[in-house]
Chain A
């Protein structure tokens, strides 16, 4: 087996201990660490996290996948099999639910990015104290949790509520119907994902060296040109990370679709809840959950691959 060696070192097959020593020297030279090249003791710090992940993530996930392959009260077949998935994917209603989930997540991501980018740029230039204060205010929805946020929007967006009610009562606007619609769901999802987007973008924008901006200005670039040719390209890795975070959070959101949406605007998460709480069909619920997981994995992987070239500076 050819072993990549810095010059001056023998390329004959080394003793395993020597190979590890050689690789360690190579690590120092290249800065890269092969995954399984370390002594087993080096992996001990990973053990608690791995055990936690296996017990509380992989095992329940495995149970969910097993359930998704099992027959149920609605669909009888000799399990395990894919009949539950065929059923869900064969019904236009459920395809609509899947499409609605992805569509609302995409809209949420776009809106959060449009709102979050200027906010992150503004934060970048503030003093430490001012930025800290604003960031704490911004992250309140995360600390308070999605339910508190959504309950507030339920009051604000309700027909005749404090937001539009006075305007409607005085004849300034016509009746506004938001609660129970997809628009209300997007509002709730944007509110919750916005802090994540802003913080991610803030960290990315902070990385942009001030010298680059000064250099651009000194060469005659105006504000828009600086933004377009310097700031935006350099912030792309952060933008793409923010998009992935926002999309994932929105697509897996339950509280906003449940409380701000309606029974007629189900997303995959509220559909799963309906399968469980109304028809006690945990097999179909698991199939819908696995479907969401696979679709999200494909989208995230595809998005990352498709934008890899744009991110490489």
Chain B
């Protein structure tokens, strides 16, 4: 009886057969790809930015070039490292990033300037937006800005009685273990090192007090992206957060209990740019793409739909839209940091944060 039961059980041979069949099924080659039209590969953040490019840039791009767009999406750091790793044979043709990564990319030789004469809309770009100052030939530009967003201080208006007005409010006792703060590897962490230093009597060139001041903070959550802490905002476990203004606006649209202020020390202005990848075989259509990104039509759509501030001075936005993005007079109310200084100091400051600050935080 036992023997017949054993014979009915799954034998090792049958198990191996089954596993082999599963493995073979998984390894079956996909159907061969049909011949693809020419494509410009865009290295960009996913989500709303990618969606906006697909909806509002792709149709005109296809009309002008006969080529289509392919996307390589991901966080900026990961995409930048891909450029470094694929320097000799890049898979992307254009690269979206903050100014610091654009500067670093030019220094590393993975980005290349664009010809001014190919950018018919360049004259419409506001001067304050051209913040990347890498040395390039006079007839070229290192990159083109495509939006201005700002990093601000958010709070839950249902739970916070005294509205914050300063970056220093993050250290208020009521926000201990209730703050969602930028993670050490966040793009803007160097800005907070400087801000904390200034709050503690230091400066941009004397940041040592800033590390001590940051070590006194008690964040509950270290975030790279608003979705890292959005659920905690709803449950009341986070009542204050640092985040980009256009994400705060998106959260408001989704009925999160959130509002934000521009602190008296000024919010952090974050111009974002797009540049051509060095070694691309699609330089011509890459420059068409850049030109489209700074055109008034695309800039207006990005402002009205994404609340991402326009860099094109000919764009006229309604007061309702201007109130929700980093546009117009708000540009003067933001603080701008030197991207080259960030690029120079980030490695050492990130180390200091990891070693001297994070262990004190006990955050998630």
Contact = CB atoms under 8 A, between A and B. Distances in A.
Contacts of A127: 8-10
Contacts of A282: 84
Contacts of A265: 364
B222 A262 contact: yes
A228 B194 CA distance: 63
Given A262-B363, A280-B81, A280-B104, A161 B231 contact: yes
A59 interface: no
A219 to B, nearest CB: 16
A285 to B, nearest CB: 10
Where chain B touches its partner, the secondary structure class is: helix
Nearest to A131: B10
A156 to B, nearest CB: 12
Q: Which of A181, A210, A278 has the most CB of B within 10 A?
A: A278
A79 B57 CA distance: 48
B14 A128 contact: yes
B173 interface: no
Interface in B1-56: 2-3, 5-6, 8-12, 14-15, 18-19, 22, 26
A280 B350 CA distance: 11
Interface in A209-243: 210, 214
B218 to A, nearest CB: 12
Contacts of B78: 277
Contacts, number: 118
Contacts of A206: 9-12, 15
B95 interface: no
Contacts of B361: 264
A295 interface: no
Nearest to A158: B231
Contact of A143 (B10, B22, B358): B22
Interface in B189-223: 221-222
Interface in B158-191: 183-185
Interface stretch (B232-240, B250-258, B331-339): B232-240
Interface in A136-193: 136, 139, 143, 158-161, 175, 177, 179-181
B281 interface: no
A100 interface: no
A128 B80 contact: no
B358 A139 contact: no
Contact of B184 (A124, A177, A181, A278): A278
Given A179-B364, A203-B12, A263-B358, A210 B3 contact: yes
A238 to B, nearest CB: 12
Q: Which of B183, B234, B346, B364 has the most CB of A within 10 A?
A: B364
Nearest to A211: B2
B320 interface: no
B329 interface: no
Q: Give the interface size bracket for A toward B.
A: 35 or more
A132 B11 CA distance: 10
A135 B18 CA distance: 9
Interface string B339-364: 00000001110110011001101111
Contact of A263 (B222, B232, B359): B222
A296 B211 CA distance: 34
A123 interface: yes
Contact of A128 (B8, B81, B237): B8
A136 B78 CA distance: 34
Given A265-B364, A278-B184, A74 B12 contact: no
B136 interface: no
Interface residues of B, number: 46
Interface in A234-286: 262-265, 274, 276-282
Contacts of B350: 274, 278-279
B77 interface: yes
Contacts of B348: 73-74
A132 B10 CA distance: 7
A126 interface: yes
A41 interface: no
A143 B81 CA distance: 28
A143 B26 contact: yes
A177 B364 CA distance: 9
A179 B221 CA distance: 10
A175 B237 contact: yes
Given A74-B348, A131-B10, A210-B2, A160 B234 contact: yes
Contacts of B26: 143
A276 B81 contact: yes
Q: Which of A127, A136, A139, A277 has the most CB of B within 10 A?
A: A277
Nearest to A91: B355
A202 interface: yes
A56 interface: no
A78 interface: no
A93 interface: yes
A175 B238 CA distance: 13
Given A180-B364, A278-B184, A139 B10 contact: no
Contacts of B221: 180, 262
Contacts of B75: 277
Contacts of B8: 127-128
Contacts of B22: 136, 139, 143
A128 B231 contact: no
B3 A263 contact: no
A300 to B, nearest CB: 24
B222 A264 contact: yes
A93 B215 CA distance: 14
B10 A160 contact: no
A128 B9 contact: yes
10 contacts: A91-B355, A93-B355, A128-B8, A128-B10, A135-B10, A136-B18, A210-B3, A263-B358, A274-B184, A274-B185
Given A128-B9, A143-B26, A158-B231, 20 more contacts: A74-B351, A91-B355, A93-B358, A96-B359, A131-B10, A135-B10, A143-B22, A160-B234, A202-B15, A203-B12, A206-B9, A206-B10, A210-B6, A263-B358, A264-B363, A278-B184, A278-B185, A278-B350, A279-B347, A279-B350
The 7 closest A-B pairs by CB, nearest first: A180-B364, A277-B77, A278-B185, A131-B10, A263-B222, A263-B183, A279-B347
